[in-house]
A and B are shown apart, each in its own frame.
Chain A
Amino acid sequence: MRRTTKLAAVLSTAVLALSACGGGDSESDSGGDSGGGDAGSDIKVGVAYDVGGRGDQSFNDSAAAGLDQASDELGLDFQESEASDGESEADREERLRTFAEAGYTHIIGVGFAYSPSIAAVAPEYPEVSFAIIDDEAAVGDNIANLVFAEEQGSFLVGAAAALKSESGQIGFVGGVETPLIQKFQAGYEAGAEAVNEDIQVDVTYLTQPPDFSGFADPARGETAATGMYDDGADVVYHAAGGSGGGVFEAASQADALAIGVDSDQYETADPAVQDVILTSMLKNVNVAVYEWLTAAAEGDTPTGTTRYDLAADGVGYSTSGGQVDDIEDQLEDFKQQIVDGEIEVPTTP
């Protein structure tokens, strides 16, 4: 027993000594990451990610890509912070306030979960500019809402799925049944029906809110997609973030096709499943982040709603892998019709 006490005493003393040493060089570490560019801008950017953060190979990563691009070109000083699962509203607000208090002039909330916190914090710091992705509910003089026409991009991949399907049956795997993901579903169904009126679209969602694990559960994605392929579907579109890897896996085993989401997943997927990826619905969060930061660096920070649709190249479809080369003319035709307003894509299924 006494030995334990002694050991603990020795340990804590050692640690105290060590941390004292550590404290010595703390001044040399300035904390923030600095971009490599030489232009140098006087804005400081704080990015608050949703759960998963940089490296989620999905939504957050797309925002990070836009941030990196802006930082490389403009030499921005930026810092990132990510949400932890199941945190409170106060935690999100505190994250934004910490950025504002630490002198960050431009703060981006990645994901609609930041809507109430940005609405609460933005009025307290009128000199700081805020941007939120995927939300129009938080409004203010210093808030920019960057939203996307996911239904338009989904329409095009829905058309691609219907054009490629031989069985006349296709599938949709949604991560979490939120209004946002329902927009993907609505566009996909409309696009498929525009090609083939009689097409059968199987729809499933992995989880229901407030359970958001459906965005990060590849095993569940695989089970859901396998069920669809077994049932006769030959193309499955996933809007399920990190669970999408399982959908590709299922497609590979069933020797069928799958459609990726958010970024060009042909580029990032495991090479073993690359050839099943027909196309990906691009939601260019990176473009939105990059454009907002570029404008901000030039001293003209946008506020209010900016909608990234097909016309603005905010959404689209990918062509890498060459699987849609033979139907690209038809897809471009649909795209033109949507841009011209001849086709109106529904946002609810």
Chain B
Amino acid sequence: MTSLDPRIVRLLLAVGAPVLALGAAFAITSLVLLVAGDPVGEVWSTILSPPETRNVVNIINAATVLYLSGVAVAIGFRMNLFNIGVDGQYRVAAFAAAAVAGEAWLPGVLNMVLAVLVAMLAGAIWAGIAGLLRATRGVSEVISTIMLNFIATSVVAFMLRQLAVREEGSNIVSTRPIPEGSRLPGIPFGDLPNLEIYGFVVVAVAVGFGYWFVLNKTRFGFDLRATGRSAPAATASGISVRRMTIATMLLSGAIAGLVGMPLLLGSSYAYGSTFQSGLGFAGIAIALLGRNHPVGIALGALLFAFLDEQSNPLQILVGVSPDIVAITQGVVVLTVVISYEVVRRFGSRLEQRRVAAALATERASGTDDKQEARA
């Protein structure tokens, strides 16, 4: 091992961690299936079977939504802020955007842009409350964002009742649907009709790039990461931790506001009682899985979307509860965290050994020199 080029070792370690994690998750889930007496082979062959075109579209669409959620959480993580409130933030934002866009005050595309801006603003304000509490009163953002999630549920429910419209004969309540001209057209995929990828996928990619750029290439990003590593050190070098806390939460909330937009502008066109929930919590898992890296988050989102989509027929075709996939997802997150730690320690021990060996030879040759000089 020690004879290998350190760069190759580092690459192997980087690849090793996720492979180890997935392998372990696979093993644990299989054990659960075995204990439950379910057909292990059939379950995996269903989940791992190549998805059809229509499933590919669903996977990409679901991953788009999950990706935005993952990035929103990751922004907080980079600054050592645990924004559990993405869930509430995106629901408040999606509702606000749906309510405003449904009124159609602006024509066509302008209305759509307005909806997205309203969503980002609403998400930022909702997250900003937690940021402000943290910065001014030292309230843990973990507690305040959880509380804000509950408040978001009630506020949205109350507001929805005020604005609700109801189709004749339907029991679903929702906001006024967004007019056709203000909907975001999808990108056709494959040769089947009605098969479209959310147009918002472009925005998601842009958000991913922007996340990478702002964090790694700007002063703000440097301040953010520095504060995340060590707040006292950041203060010592002239960074206002309070301002960074609020700014990070605002940014995280604004991106969280985008989470519901692919759904709102691309498929449901209204916020109602069947709008997808729980996306913020999935985002936490995906950010962990992707190690807060824009590409890592994308892979994590695709993996989760893949598992979700492929689990749907499990109950129908194999007779196994799709909950098994929820178990797999949970186990993946755990094993990723553990295996990264394992690999990190393994890597640092390798490094120590390499340095020690190098030092030993240096010292050995150094004493030789001295002895030679003495002689």
Contacts and interface: CB of A to CB of B under 8 A. Distances in A.
A5 B20 contact: yes
A14 interface: yes
A32 B318 CA distance: 8
A136 B23 contact: no
B367 interface: no
Contact of B342 (A1, A32, A116): A1
A26 B312 contact: no
B346 A208 contact: no
A136 B54 contact: no
Closest 9 CB pairs of A and B: A136-B169, A22-B41, A208-B157, A23-B41, A137-B170, A86-B277, A86-B278, A112-B171, A209-B273
B172 A115 contact: yes
B107 to A, nearest CB: 26
A207 B157 contact: yes
B27 A14 contact: yes
Interface size class, chain A? 35 or more
Interface string A85-120: 111111100110111001000000000110110000
A174 B348 CA distance: 59
B317 A102 contact: yes
B273 to A, nearest CB: 4
Contact of B41 (A4, A24, A95, A211): A24
B322 interface: yes
A79 interface: yes
Nearest to B40: A22
Contacts of A33: 319
B156 interface: yes
Contacts of B23: 8-9, 11-12
B242 to A, nearest CB: 34
A342 interface: no
Contact of B171 (A79, A90, A97, A178): A178
Contacts of B365: none
Nearest to B277: A86
Interface of B: 20, 23-24, 26-27, 30-31, 34, 39-42, 44-45, 54-55, 58, 61-62, 65, 153-154, 156-158, 160-161, 166-173, 194, 263, 267-268, 272-278, 308-309, 312-313, 315-319, 322-323, 326, 342, 345-346, 349
Nearest to A213: B153
Most B-side CB within 10 Å, residue of A1, A19, A32: A19
23 contacts: A2-B346, A9-B23, A15-B40, A22-B41, A23-B45, A31-B316, A79-B319, A81-B315, A87-B276, A89-B276, A95-B316, A97-B54, A98-B312, A116-B268, A134-B171, A135-B169, A135-B170, A136-B168, A179-B171, A179-B173, A210-B153, A210-B273, A211-B153
Contacts of B65: 88
A10 to B, nearest CB: 9
Contacts of B342: 1, 4
Most A-side CB within 10 Å, residue of B26, B39, B55: B39
Nearest to A33: B319
Interface string A241-270: 000000000000000000000000000000
B39 A102 contact: no
B322 A84 contact: yes
Contacts of A14: 27
Given A98-B313, A177-B161, A208-B161, 16 more contacts: A1-B345, A22-B42, A32-B319, A80-B315, A81-B315, A91-B308, A95-B312, A112-B171, A115-B172, A137-B172, A147-B169, A209-B157, A209-B272, A209-B273, A210-B275, A305-B169
